[in-house]
Amino acid sequence: MADIVRTRFAPSPTGYLHVGGARTALFCWLYARKHGGQFILRIEDTDEARNTEAARQAIFDGMNWLGLDWDEGPDVGGPCGPYYQSQRNAVYDRYFEKLVAADRVYESEGAWRFRFERKPVTMHDLVCGEVTIDYRDESNTPDMVVKRSDGSYVFHFVNVVDDLEMRITHVIRGEDHLMNTPKHLQLIEALGGVAPAYAHIPLIQNPNGSKMSKRDQGAAVGDYPRQGFVAPALVNFLALLGWSPKTEEEIFSLDELTQRFSLEAVNRSPARFDAEKCAWVNQQHLLRMSAEDFAAAARPYVEKESLDPGPQFVAVAAAVQEKVRLLTEVPEAVRFLLEDAFPMDEAALEKVKAGGNGAAVMGALHEALAQVGEWTAESAKAAIATAAGALGVKAGQMMFPLRVSLSGKAGGPDLGVILTLLGRDRSLQRIEQLRQRLS
């Protein structure tokens, strides 16, 4: 029976979930799902001094938001639990005894060090290929501490033990772990275990090429919802950093990514984070949402600005769906549709004034629109043409002043849509308002 693929994401709760970690989690998740395997979440909380509850929660929140569910881990449990390393000391003690029995550890200033075999160690990385580190050079590879003087175990040891105990088949992690892998291989060998396959994925860098750390702009996954991103867009963008579908398509849902993902298609060179493209990907995802889904996604942003979405919010949101890149842009885009007090774009108003006959245009529009029978986008637009005829100008010249009167903006949804959403009374009122202002 072929081994079932089992991958894991093993973050330490010492800071907010950042995009690098999120992408690692994504690749692990995709690989497991792609192969019908299992994805495990393990919290590596062995550094008591640096762990925080907020960070732990940020991991769960981030994973949930991204849509990366785990088959085993905190909350859901599983046969290899507990999934917090802080609760697995008995397991580590047992494995440590194996090392003692095999005479592979020795005490040093109260701590226990693992004795490396002094030989070249070769790994066969699924992304980086064959890499050999020569452990005969002791200066470069000093024996490592596996058990601290306070009795606790260090990362290298618990990480390896848990990967063994949890029967992890594929370790997918950041390239910053590449040089750790021979250490882990030696430990596994000493423990008589079977090593998982390794895949080290390139790191994500800042736009300037420096290492992206947790405090850098755009690094915290938790910031993305606040900035108006939808999760599938961030997932999509992250997948494109270091992985390529090898086609010219770029916009993918999580399901589509699962279909196409493969470790063979992962790059070896680090990628810089481009916020502009990330926003574009977000826009593409917004464009592909149904009107209902878009309205549901936009609603909290509107409410956050103390705007009442109102009874026809689906239609209101749909009017601006293709005009925004980020959901945070929605409130200002729809404000004039929800409230009668809306800001006036002075530059647009100046442009109307420069046209000269603004008041006359408003008057003609008011008169024509007041006479419309059934109020629809078509009938209202027809009335605009009538007004233009009455004034002896082209309909096109009526549009801009009308738009400014109704929305206070130079751009926005189709005029027919605006007129329909506002209704006759409010439309006429706003036209009259601007007429007076221009007189």
Partner RNA sequence: GACCCGUUCGUCUAUCGGUUAGGACUCCAGAUUUUCAUUCUGGCAAGAAGGGUUCAACUCCCUUACGGGUCGCCA
Instruction: Name the minimum Å distance from CB 276 to RNA.
Output: 4
| Element at 423 (helix H, strand E) | helix 415-438
**Residue 264 burial (C-beta neighbours within 10 Å; 0-12, 13-18, 19+):** exposed
Q: Does 193 bind RNA (CB under 7 A)?
A: no
Candidates 77, 110, 300, 389: give the one binding RNA (CB under 7 A).
110
Instruction: Using the rule CB under 7 A, give the single segment among 309-317, 365-373, 411-419, 420-428 that binds RNA.
Output: 411-419
Candidates 34, 47, 222, 253: give the one binding RNA (CB under 7 A).
47
Q: Does 357 bind RNA (CB under 7 A)?
A: no
Total residues in contact with RNA, by rule CB under 7 A: 76
Rounded to whole angstroms, the Cα distance separating 363 from 111 reads 88
Q: Which of residues 266-285 bind RNA (CB under 7 A)?
A: 267-272, 274, 276-277, 280, 283-284
Nearer to RNA among residue 37 and residue 145 (C-beta): 145
Per-residue contact string for residues 48-77; x = within reach of RNA by CB under 7 A: --x---------------------------
Q: Does 322 bind RNA (CB under 7 A)?
A: yes
Among 214, 323, 351, 381, the one annotated catalytic = 214
| Element at 324 (helix H, strand E) | none
Active site residue 214: yes
Q: Does 439 bind RNA (CB under 7 A)?
A: no
CB of 190 closer than 8 Å to CB of 102: yes
Nearest to 261 by CA among 25, 28, 2: 28
User: What is the SS3 assignment for 35-104?
Assistant: CCCEEEECECCCCCCCCCHHHHHHHHHHHHHHCCCCCEECCCECCCCCCEHHHCHHHHHHHHHHHHHCCC
Candidates 22, 415, 422, 434: give the one binding RNA (CB under 7 A).
415
Cα end-to-end span (Å), the chain: 85
Q: Which of residues 161-190 bind RNA (CB under 7 A)?
A: 175-180
Rounded to whole angstroms, the Cα distance separating 167 from 173 reads 16
Q: Does 411 bind RNA (CB under 7 A)?
A: yes
Q: Collapsing DSSP states into helix, strand and coil, what is residue 133? A: strand
Instruction: Name the minimum Å distance from CB 41 to RNA.
Output: 13
